[in-house]
């Protein structure tokens, strides 16, 4: 073989190997955006008991002490003190007795339900007199009713009702946030505002309630960093926030996912259909 040809072929082989090695090294040292997931602080669940006698308060205090965390417990004997407490503090659960000062109690509940943020706040109305509870039942919404005195069954019902809302507020308080540390900016996004992530070539487009954020990271890499219960793969090009799904159109192939108030759609391919439906059923049971 001609010596010049040998030299040329050797040079080509060296060049190919050299650039392959450089490419591998580049892939290893490529800097992706830093993604930080943070769990929000628990919401402090607070309770206000208004117009209750000492015996009733004692029972309620014992029930609240049985919870796994400290629950701030406010008490008020007069209308003015009750109004002052819920005006200056965030209250998540109200207990109102109709026995001692029924007029003040009814006025308090009426004022409470006129305020937008308290309109649907869980409220329990207590009385040892059924005649007081019946008119309240027809007049007020979003209230539960307990006929005093407390016995084993009413204590259990009260505890179950309180625990249901306590668990709900704890769950709401533990939402994740994602911090995207990119070359030219830093973004801090509540994860419930993310609809889905779409893979486009070697980048990801994060679709949020406010805008679309493009990051230089392949989808598989983003998936490795995400909390397991947050993003679910529905297609080789999509990761979806399951909690934000409003509709799945099964008449199309692949299936199409819609989101409330958002014009763009995500897809579910055949490979992921069964897994996504099972996951949705599981989330509904939580």
Separation of alpha carbons 90 and 47, rounded Å? 9
Q: What is the structure's pLDDT at 151? A: 92
Pick 120 or 41 by higher pLDDT: 120
pLDDT category of residue 16 using cuts at 50, 70 and 90: very low
Residue 206 lies in domain: 176-285
- Residues 158 and 105 placed together within one structural domain of the fold: yes
- Residues 108 and 212 placed together within one structural domain of the fold: no
Report, as an integer, the average pLDDT of 67-76: 89
What separation in angstroms does the CA of 215 have from each of 197, 223, 278? Answer: 10, 13, 30
Which of 111, 139, 173 is the endpoint of a domain? 173
Count of the separate structural domains present in the chain: 2
CATH number of 108's domain: 3.40.50.2300
For residues 197 and 204, the answer to whether their CB atoms sit within 8 Å is yes
Beginning with the edge strand found earlier in the chain, give each strand of the sheet holding 203-208 in spatial order: 212-215, 203-208, 194-200, 238-241, 231-235
- Residues 54 and 163 placed together within one structural domain of the fold: yes
Q: Is the pLDDT of residue 227 over 70?
A: no
Q: What is the pLDDT of residues 243-255, one digit of tens each?
A: 889 899 999 999 9
pTM, two decimal places: 0.50
Q: What is the structure's pLDDT at 142? A: 72
Domain-located, residue 7: no
- Residues 273 and 218 placed together within one structural domain of the fold: yes
Domain-located, residue 12: no
How far is CA 59 from its chain centroid?
32
Q: What is the pLDDT of residues 152-203, one digit of tens each?
A: 999 998 998 898 888 777 666 556 677 787 777 888 888 778 999 999 998 9
Contacts made by residues 57-61, CB under 8 angstroms, sequence distance 24+:
59/150, 59/155, 60/95, 60/158
Q: What is the structure's pLDDT at 29? A: 36
Q: How many residues are given for the chain? A: 286
Average pLDDT, the chain: 80
pLDDT category of residue 284 using cuts at 50, 70 and 90: low
The secondary element (H helix, E strand) that includes residue 274 is helix 270-285
Q: Is the pLDDT of residue 9 over 60?
A: no
Q: Is the pLDDT of residue 48 over 70?
A: yes
Which of 173, 197, 220 is the endpoint of a domain? 173
């Amino acid at each position: 073989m001609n010596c010049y040809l040998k030299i040329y072929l050797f040079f080509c082989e060296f060049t190919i190997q050299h650039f392959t090695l450089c490419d591998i090294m580049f892939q290893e040292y490529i800097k992706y955006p830093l993604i930080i997931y943070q769990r929000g602080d628990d919401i402090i669940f607070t309770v206000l008991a208004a117009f209750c006698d000492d015996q009733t308060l004692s029972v309620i205090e014992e029930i609240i002490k049985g919870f796994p965390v400290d629950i701030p417990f406010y008490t008020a004997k007069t209308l003015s003190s009750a109004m002052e407490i819920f005006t200056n503090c965030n209250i998540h659960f109200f207990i109102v007795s109709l026995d001692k000062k029924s007029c003040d109690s009814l006025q308090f509940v009426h004022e409470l339900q006129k305020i937008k943020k308290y309109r649907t706040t869980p409220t329990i109305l207590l009385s040892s007199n059924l005649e007081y509870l019946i008119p309240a039942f027809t007049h007020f919404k979003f209230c539960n009713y307990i006929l005093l005195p407390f016995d084993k069954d009413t204590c259990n019902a009260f505890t179950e009702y309180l625990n249901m809302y306590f668990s709900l507020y704890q769950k709401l308080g533990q939402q994740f946030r994602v911090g995207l540390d990119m070359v030219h900016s830093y973004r801090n996004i509540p994860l419930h505002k993310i609809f889905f992530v779409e893979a486009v070539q070697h980048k990801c487009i994060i679709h949020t309630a406010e805008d679309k954020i493009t990051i230089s990271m392949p989808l598989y890499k983003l998936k490795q960093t995400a909390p397991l219960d947050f993003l679910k793969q529905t297609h080789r090009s999509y990761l979806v926030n399951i909690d934000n799904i409003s509709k799945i159109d099964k008449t199309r192939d692949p299936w199409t996912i819609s989101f409330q108030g958002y014009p763009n759609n995500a897809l579910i391919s055949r490979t992921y259909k069964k897994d996504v439906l099972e996951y949705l059923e599981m989330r509904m049971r939580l």
